[in-house]
Amino acid sequence: MGPSVKPGIPPSATRLTASGRGQRRAARLAVEVEGTLVGRVSHPVRLVDLSASGCLLRCAALLDAGAILELRLQIASHPFAAKARVVDSSLDGSAGADGTGSLTSLEFLGLAARDEAALRRFLEEERRRRRSADAPAE
C-alpha cells in the first residue's frame, strides 16, 4: 500500500519523513493574487496560496496534469514569471453557479535567481507582517 497523502495536497508537494507521514517541501501562505497562466492559450488565474516551491490557484479551465506553463504575476509590485508544471487540476466545488472552474496546483521549475529571491522576500515579509498584525497590543 502506498504512502498516504493529505487531502488537497498534491503528492509531489510532499515528502515522506522517517515516520512515513507526508511533509511539505515549503510552507504555504494564503494569498489573493491575480495572474496569468500562459501556454497555447492564456488563462487569467487567482492564486489561493503560494510557497517557494509552487502554488494553488483558481482557473476557469481544467488543466492537464503534467502540462508545462508559464505563470506571470506581480509580487509586491514587481513582475514575477515562473515555468511551472501542473501537478493536479480538479473541478472547484466553490465555483460559480455555472459550475465551471478548477483548483490547480503548480510546481515551480527552475526559477530565475531574481524571481526566486523576490518570491522568498515576499513570503518572508508577508509572514512577518501577518505575525505583527496578529500580535496582541500591549
Sign of CA dihedral 51, 69, 7, 59: positive
Q: What is the pLDDT of residues 100-137, one digit of tens each?
A: 689 999 999 989 999 999 999 999 999 999 888 776 76
pTM: 0.74
Contacts of 81 (CB under 8 A, 6+ apart): 70, 71, 72, 112, 115
Domain covering 13-134: architecture: Beta Barrel (2.40)
What are the sequence ranges of the domains in the chain? 13-134
Q: What is the pLDDT of residues 6-18, one digit of tens each?
A: 344 444 444 433 4
